[in-house]
Amino acid sequence: MSTLGAYLRLVRAGWVLLREGVVAAFPGEQLEGAPRFGWRVAKLISRRHSSGRGRTERLTIAVDRLGPSYVKLGQFLATRPDVVGHELARDLATLQDRMETFPEEQARAVIEASLGAPVETLFRDFGPPVAAASIAQVHPAKILRGGEMQKVAVKVIRPGVRRRFYNDLESFFLAARLQERFAPSTRRLRPVEVTQTLAQTTKIEMDLRLEAAAISELHENTKEDPGFRVPWVDWERTGRDVLTLEWIDGIKMSDIAALQAAGHDLQRLATVLIQAFLRHTLRDGFFHADMHPGNLFVEADGTIVAVDFGIVGRIGKKERRFLAEILYGFITRDFRRVAEVHFEAGYVPGHHDVAAFAQALRAIGEPIHGQPAETISMARLLTLLFEVTELFEMQTRPELLLLQKTMVVVEGVSRTLDPHFNMWRAAEPVVSQWIERNLGPRGAVSDLREAGMALVVLARQAPELAARTERLSREIDLMAQRGLRFDPETAEAIGRAEARHTRSGRVALWVIALLLFLFVLQQF
């Protein structure tokens, strides 16, 4: 029944997308055969009033109708242009995670169940919700901290949201498996693996203790950063379903007029923002991955404060070195070095020619150096770079795509603050300083220290590794002599599972066909 429910939810989602004109909004004149026929049918099924809307508006309406799970799905896919394409990724990036608030009584019940104490003993002046998203909503309150009364933001999980998400995730996995089965050309995009990443991301986001840990780590990392900070977390009043953190009083970075009226230096804010992002990425390998203007506030003294850490990104030392060297290589026009970095990192297969790859990179870099610096987009550069690497069989790197998406957003915010913002001039001090510390003599000493520690760990594990190798060798010898065998119970279980899957699949397909037939009949 679970599989059948997933099929039915998937059919409903497809029907909503068709009716709201999302499918019909995509260009289909160049299609041929069955795809073109399907596109024409989609245009017939679309609501008549949807034809006057743009594709982004149609998509927003459809996703709002489908609910919070699909808002999160859209926001997640916006970080994967390799899967949905750059055009659709831009549309999905505009989806706003705003929902109706739920009653304060339910929020109080969630807090008391999670923290094990009445709201009145935990907080002072606990107020009604001021903002609501698909997963949680925020209430203002006050607490006694350090002998002083301080205002806090209390984030409370939406009741029943986990069950709704888990049900919809079944449909997402079903769609991914069907895609892999019936569209072999898309298997290289690994749709099931992408869905697993979404599921893991969502599970993490629905445990507010993990978001609190991310905030706490970033708070520690940014203590000494000029002009940028992260709120503190009140761990005493934080649990799986409740997150309590510092209340931020400031002007949203999306309100340019208010920032100007308050006398803030917009050019300085643009520079501080991009340098802070690059510092977190290169120095810490841990960055806020949802830095749109609504999640950034400017305090009275000009300090930028980031909020909402549901999406964060991590990149390892190898990826940080890769990012720094390619950025610095393009700044200095050393395209050969940029090409070599790709090969050294193992991103481009070794059978390709380094010189040919450097030539392709020059085709990207030279036109950029012929433009005024303030018109050069670093985000656009990375987009072109990933397009070129596809020609050289570079495998999808999800962590780099999330980084690219975040850089697009951050750069866009900086250019909104200062239309003549020089991205390269702002980035150069941070990038060059990181290269000096990590790729120069100091970096070599650090690498030797890490290599020495790795050898010590390996030496400690040597006896256990030797024992495992001996056991594996014996098992391989036995397998070679006797062959690979299943016990009777295992073989019987596999047969039952396969038969059950086949029956449920057939029943579900007949139900889908009948529902689609009834839906179409309603239109004529």
State the Cα torsion 120-125-129-131 to the nearest 10°: -120
Asked if 312 and 423 sit in the same domain, the reply is yes
Backbone angles phi, psi at 2, to 5 degrees: -65, -40
In a domain, 43, yes or no: yes
Domain of 426 in residue numbering reads as 251-439
* Residue 260 counted as domain residue: yes
Q: Are residues 354 and 454 in the same domain?
A: no
Considering the chain, what is the average pLDDT of its residues? Answer: 78
Query: Between the CA of residue 165 and those of 76, 196, 517, what are the distances in Å?
Result: 14, 13, 28
Confidence of residue 422 (pLDDT cuts 50, 70, 90): confident
In a domain, 226, yes or no: no
Average pLDDT over residues 331-338: 83
Same domain, yes or no: 187 and 325 = no
**Are 396 and 481 members of one domain?**
no
- Kindly report, residue by residue over 358-415, the tens digit of the pLDDT: 888 888 777 766 666 566 666 667 667 766 766 777 766 666 777 877 887 888 888 8
45: Cβ contacts below 8 Å, ≥ 6 apart:
18, 19, 24, 519, 520, 523
Residue 1 pLDDT level (bands cut at 50, 70, 90) = very low
For residue 384, is it within any domain? yes
496 assigned to some structural domain = no
Report how far residue 29's alpha carbon sits from residue 351's, in angstroms, rounded to the nearest whole number. Answer: 39
Residue 519 lies in a domain: no
Residue 522 confidence (pLDDT): 47
In a domain, 383, yes or no: yes
The beta strand positions in 310-452, using DSSP E, are 312-314
Please check whether residues 388 and 466 belong to one and the same domain: no
Q: Are residues 279 and 354 in the same domain?
A: yes
Share of the chain above pLDDT 70, in %: 70
Please check whether residue 454 lies inside any domain of the structure: yes
In terms of domains, do 431 and 457 share one? Answer: no
Q: Is the domain of 424 the same as that of 348?
A: yes
Instruction: Scan for tokens 């507010």, then name that residue.
Output: 208
**Catalytic positions:** 290
Residue 266: band (very low, low, confident or very high) from pLDDT cuts 50, 70, 90: very high
Residues 457 and 434 in one domain: no
189 & 261 share domain:
no
Q: Are residues 88 and 11 in the same domain?
A: yes
Structure tokens at 159: 């009741």
Find the helix packing angle between 423-439 and 441-482, rounded to 10°: 70
10 CB-side CA count, 13 A: 22
Q: Do both 449 and 419 map to the same domain?
A: no
pLDDT value for 252? 93
Counting the structural domains of the chain, the total is: 3
